[in-house]
Structure 1
Amino acid sequence: MSYLIKPEGYKPTLDLKQTELGIKQIKDFFQTNLSSELRLRRVTAPLFVLKGMGINDDLNGVERAVAFPIKDMNDVQAEVVHSLAKWKRMTLGDYNIEPGYGIYTDMNAIRADEELGNLHSLYVDQWDWERVMTAEERNADFLIEIVSRIFAAMVRTEYMVYEMYPHIKPQLPEKLHFIHSEELRLQYPDLDSKGREDAICRKYGAVFIIGIGGKLGDGKKHDGRAPDYDDYTTPGLKNLPGLNGDLLVWNDILQRSCELSSMGIRVDKKTLLKQLEQEGEEKRLELLFHKRLIEGKLPLSIGGGIGQSRLCMYYLRKAHIGEIQASIWPEKMREECAAHNMPLI
């Protein structure tokens, strides 16, 4: 079901021409800084992959992939990617990239089951990145170091936007606040996971929540994760489970938290087997990606995705992601957005 937040008194501070210029500058500047911070080289990525290979990202395990038959291959099915979490790791192995270096790419996806709203679109565009790491780096300190570097690139980009458009004042804090999802639950025991995200982001401005995918002390998950890419069960921060997380910022226009990035240290053989068993998904071990991982043919890695349109939406102080990207929206939403000064592209 679609859900629309209609900020009272909202009016875009940039016209369409200024917005398009800002989008271009933000994307160019940020990806250059991201590449420099993490030592990443740009690669070309697929829009679709073959079905049944275990390469597509399963997200929460319930979203349907957009699929189509390939006429010239006896109608074998292909799927539009949800993200490139597994494809990137295979590419690191194929390219024989050394520890401390990695890749990034423009990932474009179609998520037909998305609940449309200010932050959610059928069309997903993000920078997907992946970097080779050593066994000694599989710990929370290394995760925090990498996340901090990415956040530093975000802060620099916001200042660049301020230089372009001086009326858009910087809002990101100098430091990113780190907290484990179990600590967050205990801090706000009367709120659900979304309410906890809003509360902690309102307080600190920018937060990285560690440990997404595993069950917390109340038996519930903070949020879902596919069991075969992020490591969410290995003890990390304060010996609590989880070597992954989400980076969120406080959106002052929408008066709610906004996830800009999801990332984590990826599963090794041991955690893959453990997490698949926990979710009752051992059948995936017969798939190509999983076989290569079990056989030791994939490098240890850390990686994630950073939303391009969401980042631009935040920096340019837009109330709806449709003011940044072209997509399909329910006619009623288009009418409501137009009536509340949110012109959708």
Structure 2
Amino acid sequence: MSYLIKPRKYKAILDLKQTELGIKQIKEFFQQNLSSELRLRRVTAPLFVLKGMGINDDLNGTERAVSFPIKDLGESKAEVVHSLAKWKRLTLAEYNIDPGYGIYTDMNAIRADEELGNLHSLYVDQWDWERVITKEQRTIDFLKQIVVRIYAAMRRTEYMICEMYPQIKSFLAHDITFIHSQELLDMYPDKTPKEREDAITKKFGSVFIIGIGNKLSDGKEHDLRAPDYDDWTTIDKSTGLAGLNGDLLVWDDVLERAIELSSMGIRVDKEALLKQLKMTRQEKRKELYFHKRLLDETLPLSIGGGIGQSRLCMLFLRKGHIGEIQASIWPEEMRQECEKIGMLLI
């Protein structure tokens, strides 16, 4: 079901030509900064993978992958990727990357089950990245260090685009605020997870919510996560709270709501994978190629995530709809409503 937010008194700051140039500059500048901050090398990524290998991501665990038969492989099926969390970890092993270094790639995906709107499209473009870590780095403190570096690259990119287009004013908070999803529930016990995200992000501007996927004190998850990439059950010694992953959110005063720019985390090790598969009753996945590799401990420990390219451009160019940044398919009614208020979808 599609849903359109209509910003009050919306007016696009940039025309189509300026927007396209801005998109190019943001994408080139940010990925160079991300690569430098995290010591990542660029690699080429697949658009699709073989079905039944356990390589494609299940995201929340409910989305259907777009699939098709391959004539020259005896009609074996391929799936268009949802994201590349598991593929990247296999690639780290293949390239024999040392701890402290990693990879990034342009990830293009199709998510047929997305509810279309200002922030959600059938087409997804991300910078997917993954970095090898040591056992000692599987902590909340190390996760925070990586988040701070990524946020620094975002702030530099914002400064660049404000220099390029002086009519766009800086808005990102100087620092990012960290909070665990359980602490957020304690602060706003009467709000839904989305309402809690909006409240905390409006208050601080830029927030990283730690611990996404594990059940909280109310018996519910802040949001769902698949059991086989992020580690959302390991308890951090410094906090006593479960979860070594999280979401990076920024307040968008155009849409007057929080926008998730990145989902990332320390990945499951053997112990966490077994625990999370059991918790979600998906232990049959242990027979899949990726999971066997992880359980055999032939894959490196890692941290990784995805950063939305179109969302970052949308935010920095002060757009009200992701369709002003990328070409996709939208309900005709949505196109007409957007045109009425000055949001011209590509």
TM-score band, normalised by the shorter chain?
over 0.9
The offset of 1:238, in angstroms, is: 1.5
Pair 1:66-2:66 in alignment? yes
Structure 1 counterpart of 2:54: 54
The offset of 1:107, in angstroms, is: 0.1
Paired letter, 2:209: I
Structure 2 counterpart of 1:104: 104
Runs of 4+ in 1 over 3 A off after TM superposition: none
Structure 2 counterpart of 1:247: 248
Paired letter, 1:153: A
Paired letter, 2:160: M
Q: Secondary structure at the match of 1:53?
A: coil
Distance 1:118 1:341 in 2: 13
Structure 2 counterpart of 1:113: 113
Paired letter, 1:20: E
Pair 1:92-2:92 in alignment? yes
Structure 2 counterpart of 1:192: 192
* Cα deviation 1:236-273 (Å, max 9, x = unaligned): 26210000000000010101000000000000000000
Paired letter, 1:31: Q
Structure 2 counterpart of 1:342: 343
Pair 1:332-2:333 in alignment? yes
Paired letter, 1:99: P
Structure 2 counterpart of 1:7: 7
Structure 1 counterpart of 2:315: 314
Pair 1:37-2:44 in alignment? no
Q: Secondary structure at the match of 1:56?
A: coil
Paired letter, 1:283: K
Pair 1:156-2:156 in alignment? yes
Q: Secondary structure at the match of 2:171?
A: coil
Distance 1:99 1:57 in 2: 24
TM-score normalised by length of structure 2: 0.99
Structure 2 counterpart of 1:323: 324
Distance 2:202 2:224 in 1: 23
Distance 1:305 1:106 in 2: 10
Q: Secondary structure at the match of 2:239?
A: helix
Paired letter, 2:341: H
Structure 1 counterpart of 2:304: 303
RMSD, aligned α-carbons = 0.5
* Cα deviation 1:76-104 (Å, max 9, x = unaligned): 00000000000000000011000000000
Distance 1:160 1:308 in 2: 16
Distance 1:49 1:141 in 2: 34
TM-score normalised by length of structure 1: 1.00
The offset of 1:163, in angstroms, is: 0.3
Give unmatched runs, 5+ long, in structure 1.
none
Percent identity at matched positions? Answer: 74
* Cα deviation 1:22-81 (Å, max 9, x = unaligned): 000000000000000000000000000000000000011111000000011111000000
Distance 1:155 1:319 in 2: 20
Mean CA deviation greater in 234-243 or 333-342: 234-243
Paired letter, 1:25: Q
Map residues 247-266 of structure 1 onto 2, 5 A cutoff. 247-266=248-267
* Cα deviation 1:218-239 (Å, max 9, x = unaligned): 0000001000000001112621
Give unmatched runs, 5+ long, in structure 2.
none
The offset of 1:340, in angstroms, is: 1.0
Structure 1 counterpart of 2:26: 26
